[in-house]
Each structure stands twice: as C-alpha cells, then as structure tokens.
Structure 1
Amino acid sequence: MSFKGIVRELREMKDGIGSMSKRVGDRKHWHSRTMSHIAPDLAPNPPSDLIQQGQWANLPPELLLDIIQRVEESETTWPARAVVVSCASVCKSWRAIVREIVKTPEQCGRLTFPISLKQPGPRQSPIQCFIRRDRETSTFYLHYGLVPSEGEKDKLLLAAKRIRRATSTEFIISLVADDFSRASSTYVGKLRSNFLGTKFTVYDSQPPCDAVPQTNSRSSRRFHSKQVSPRVPACNYSVGTVCYELNILRTRGPRRMHCAMPSIPVSSIQEGGTAPTPTLFSQAYDEHFAPSPCSTVKELVTGYSSINLSEPHVQGAEPLVLKNKSPRWHEQLQCWCLNFRGRVTVASVKNFQLVAAVDPSHNVSAEEQERVILQFGKIGKDIFTVDYRYPLSSFQAFAICLSSFDTKPACE
C-alpha cells in the first residue's frame, strides 16, 4: 500500500478502530470536534479484544514507527494535523509511538495534544495566535494562526468566559467553547482579579512541575463540594500574578504591568536553563487510571484534608518576573509607540509587550533581556493578536492577555 493510501486510511479512522460502518456514521461528528478544540489528550481505551483483532494494532513496530514518522512530518498544520491525533487514538501501542515521536512545542514549535497548551513555547520563533472577543456573551476565544480566516474555521485552542462578581472578576478557561463549568473535564484554569482590577491571579487546574503542596489546617472546600468527580480536577493551583501600577491622576503615561510566575524559575532563561514541562494532564483526565466511583470521594477528602493545594511552592527557585516594555513617545503621531513588527495595527491601551525583568546577578545576556516573550495587540474590532515564546505556555499567555480586558479605572 502506498504512503498516500495509508494516510487516507488513517483519516477514516478518526473515531478509533471500530467497524467501517461506525467510521462512516461518526465521521461528521469527529470533523466538528477537531475544528472546535484539540482532541482530548487521553482517549478512552478500546476493549482488549478489539486491540488484539484490529487490523492496524499488530503492525510490526519498525513499520509502524516509519508510518507515524512520515505522517507527523507531513501534517504540520491544522486541521491536517488532526491525523496525528487520530494515530494516537488507535490503540496503546500506536499511542506510545506517537508520544515518542511528537515533540514538545519548545522542540518543534507545533501544538498537537491538549498538554501542548501547558508546555513552554519555542525559544526562537514565537507561536502566533489571535483572540476573538464576543461582547454579548463576554467570551474570549484563543485561535491558532496569524489572522482570522474567512470561513471562521480557525483552530480553537482555549476559550474563556468573564464572570463579574461583587468584589472581583473571574475568567473561566476551558478547552471547549460551550462548557465553562469547573466541574467539567475540559476545565483548565481561571484568572481572578481583585476589587480595583489592579492584581490578577492565574490558577491552573493541575499543579506545576516540581510543586510541593504546603500543609495548612484549612482543607480545600472544593473537595467537599458536590461537584467532586473521579475525572474532575478538584482544586486550583496559583501559578502566576499580574499586577498593574496605579495611575489615578493619569500622569505616568500608558499602563505599567509586572507578571510574577512562581511556577517558572528565573534560571529557565539563563544559558542552559530549562522551564518546567508537564508531559500529561492529571490522572483525572484518564478514565483508565480513575479510581472506582464508590471510593473516590472518600479517598480524595481523607488524602488531601490536611494539605492546601491552592498554593504550590517550587523549592529553591527564584520566580521569573516579566515587565512590560516601555513605549516611546512619537512626536509626529502624538502617541506612545512600540515596534510590534506588523502584528499590531490599531492603537489601544490594551497593547503591550513583556520582557524579562532581571538583576545583573542573574547572569542573563542582554539579548535575552530584550527578547519579547509575549506581545498582545489589537488588529481590528474585537480581534487581538497573541505571540508568545519560551518559557511561557499557551495557557499562561492567554491568562495574562485576559487581564488586559478587565476594567481598570485606577490604572489609566
């Protein structure tokens, strides 16, 4: 069979290794899924008898490795890259090889599985995305690509919904565009502001790498909630803060912001440094490793009643701090300007660029200090570009950009 024939067969297997009739019946449903969000990182495991009898499950490992390598190298952009996800959904042996071949965004510059949204971006060329804002529903969508396409079929990475409360504002972040419940398996984190809108806290649904839970007498209230489920992340982990300087009299020019990332050590931007890189979502996303329903809630409550999981702590690491790059006043245009290299075309108070704020003692090169890690800006009505790179992830970059959408009467 030719290579094109193999790829064509894989495209027909986007819903697993079931019968041909099931593939045809479910093809339309799978297509709508891949266009809405990245497929789940851990697919339900097929019955063992299907694994043994499947026509693709027992291929020689050398042949299987060669096939998947060719597919991975040829399908580099979405929606064609959904074929790589389909390969990982065939069976355990296929998934193991796909995980071995597919590299992290830092290594290959591409997003494939949902866990890619929690992994650092590439060191050189940034990953370019854009945010589409829906004012009527207070919803924000992060899409993969340079600019919106005409058919509005851009790859959805993350979605967020703004919820205003009496003393704060929350942005609930999800993998899908129609489910923002924190009891859902698609919940990935949230952003919460203080009363003045000057400080925002980024919460992740799973602990960062190397995080050590700190003991606390207060138990997490979410473990005692009725929403606790074997497959649901039951708490939030603080992984960053975004602070805006007060500017009540408007005498300090444009907004000034600082981002402290406790989950990322400052050593990650030093020569030879590395940033924490999760490899899997928590076991709550995997039905195969989920505890039995009859004992789940009791085990969760007794296991974590003496631990405060909302404040992870990375031992022996100084956190990375980002600051916005100071704009320059343009005499002819009579406005503050930054060089966005053509990625931002509309002047807005929301536009910003973030660089590392380091001391000379950190031994960070001047080139690295000037490197823009995250930039955000407006290109049209309710359309904003987002370009991020190492050591930030898609989730962290999206959360930081969401803070720019909240009202800040004391900062501008």
Structure 2
Amino acid sequence: MNAQSVEDLPSAIDRALDGRSILILPRTRDAAITEVAHSQWTGSGRAPALVLFTSGSTGTAKAVALSAEALTTSARATERFLAGPGDWLLSLPINHIAGFQVELRARLAGREPIRTTSATFTAEAFADEAEHLFSHSGHRPTYTSQVPTQLHRILANERATLAATKFDAMLLGGSAISPVLLERAAGRGLHIVRTYGMSETAGGCVYNGVPFDGVEITITESSTINLRGHVVADSYVEITAEGHITPVDTPGLTTDDDGARTMHTSDLGRIDEGVLTVLGRSDDIIVSGGTNVSPHALETGLLPTWQHHGIAEVLVTWVPDEEWGKLLVALVRIDDQVPKAVADSMGSPHDFARCLDGLAHGMHEQLLPRLVFPVAEIPRRSIGKPDRQAAARLAAKLAETKIHGAPTSEYPNE
C-alpha cells in the first residue's frame, strides 16, 4: 500500500484508470490517498479504479467502489455539457467525489488543476487562485466546482465576484441551493450550472435538472429518485484490517440482468417536462404534531423572502417537545443588513420566529419554525452539505441555554 501526495495524484489516476491499481481516498481531507494492488480486491467482478467514502450525511459513511468506466463516463459527459476540455480550479476537498472529479477532468484535459492552498476556503484566496488560472489558460475554457457556502462567500467579496464572472462555468452542488443565491449570481453575470449526484454516481450526473446522456431517472411510487446508467457505482465495499476490499450487497445499489446499475436514492423528487427537481431527503422528514415536514422544502420556500430581511442562510431542524413531539426550529446565519424590526425581535427565539414566519413568504398553510436561533455558521460537513445531526444537537443546546425553561410549545399552530 503506497501513500500518494496530491502532486503525485495525476500519475496515480492514470494507473487506476488503466487497471494497474486501486486508489483509496481517505475519510478525512487531511489524511493520505493510498494506492493498492488489484490483489486486494476479493470480489468476483471487475476490480474498481477508486474507493471513496460517502459524506455520511445520513449517518455512518459508506465505502463506494467506482469503476474506471463510471469515472470517465462522468468526466466526458461534463466536457460535452460544458464547452469541452478546459482548465480547472480545485477549491473542494480531494477526498470527496466532487473534488476528485475536478482532478480527473483536469487530467483527461491534459493539464493539472490550480489547487487551493488554503486550509479554509476564503473569497480572497479564491480570487488569487482564479487569477493564477486565467493567466495560464490562454484560449482554453475555465471551470471550477463549488458548494453553496463557497458561493455565498464569493458574492460577499467584490474582487472574488469579478473573478467568478470570468469562468466559463461554475458547477454548483453538494447541498440545497437557494433561489435567491442563484438570482444574485445571475445578476452579477456568473455562469452557474446546478449539479445533482453523489458518490455512488461518480459525482453530478444531472446538470440544471437534465440527466447526462445514458443516465435514466425514475421517480418511484414513494417519490424517491432512482438513477440508472454507466456512471453508477459497482457496489459498496468493506475494507478489512488487512486491507482487503470486499463488495457488500445492499438494496441501495442493484444490477440488472443486462448489467445496468441503479442507485436507489433517499432523495425525493419530481420530473416536469424532463427536468428534475430535488425536494429533499425522505430520511430527513420531521414529524411534528403528526404532520410530515420536509426541512429542504421549508428552507427553499422561506429563504427567498427571509433573505430580503437579513437572513443569509437557514437550516431547519427540531427539538424535543411534549406537545409536538418534534418542534420545528430554524438555525439562521444573519447577513450584514438586518431591518430594525427583525433585529428587535432577535432577543427571543419565539419572537424571532414570529417575526420571520409573519413575512409574506406564501407558506402559511404549512407548519413553520416555532423557534429561530441566530448562529455564526450553519453546521456543515466537509464538502458543504448540511450536517442535520449536528444541527439538531446544536438546536437542543441553544433551546436549553437560551429559553431558560420557557415551554417550547407556547407558540401555537396558527
């Protein structure tokens, strides 16, 4: 087993794609990438080119085995959707599929990406790195891949925003995207491409709601999304203490008799005239007072209005409650410009909720957050996805320390 530095990754990618080794990405961004021999594969089918771990947004991270076919099919489909092979700026962690795909696309395009050297993403570092990329790209298209939190920071910085306008395309995914964020980006002239996918589909396989050629989307009777095609992973795997890689059967990943693979996601969605809309995760549903509530639907429904009143980001979670079972809570990151009426209500989580819930957001027929807590940062995992488990823990702590014994059910359903 050999450890690989990021600088050695391009040649290691070549070996993995050629079937000479297997790359294993680490669970954390600071750990080493490893390269192992095919003899470590114990499955009966083809050995994978890449093993990586999911973000663990629904619990324990799973190890996913991706073939060279899945990886290159995805990378080439991205080139076809965009303006062809180009130069890339890498601002995402390499241990996640979105970051690895930037490395792979750059490798297939013949040039290494410009890699961020900052441990934490900053708008100023992004601007510096983008300028470095543009100075070497010549007439080649330029691309980058971001998560919404990074785009928020870019748009808050004039120099970074100007740099972002020069990219031929900015892929944006990893978590729910606020319509207002997209409007702001479009208003500044950024070329945003919304992506949907996951580790099990070799990254994004649906761009701006439209699947790649060869990717088939099915909405099940329970409204969850199935993705079928060559980009889908071969299997989940276990890695033993001896380093052996063993496939694991699971209903989440299935293979048809003809060899076609399907990822059965927990994401809820609908298709309108061939365009996919993702509505959140079925396993994120919060049952409050006997009513099923999608936090994703609340977030995307409330934020377009709330952002005009000083709320930059929102994450909906819950706290235990005797009356409701689970009481809806919103964690919000405050913008620089907050109207006085909103600022005056922030002293009480109940008053803050009443103030924001009373805005003209058009969602009065739905259950709304009963408590709102300002936070410095929305809890997220390393790739930028909301960390809903951490959010629930944080909400419980804030409710305990800030409400001082006031019953959380005093705000009745209106």
Please classify the TM superposition score into its range, dividing by the shorter chain length.
under 0.3
Please report the TM-score for the alignment, with normalisation by the length of structure 2. 0.28
Please report the TM-score for the alignment, with normalisation by the length of structure 1. 0.28
Higher RCO, Cα 8 Å, sep 6+: 1
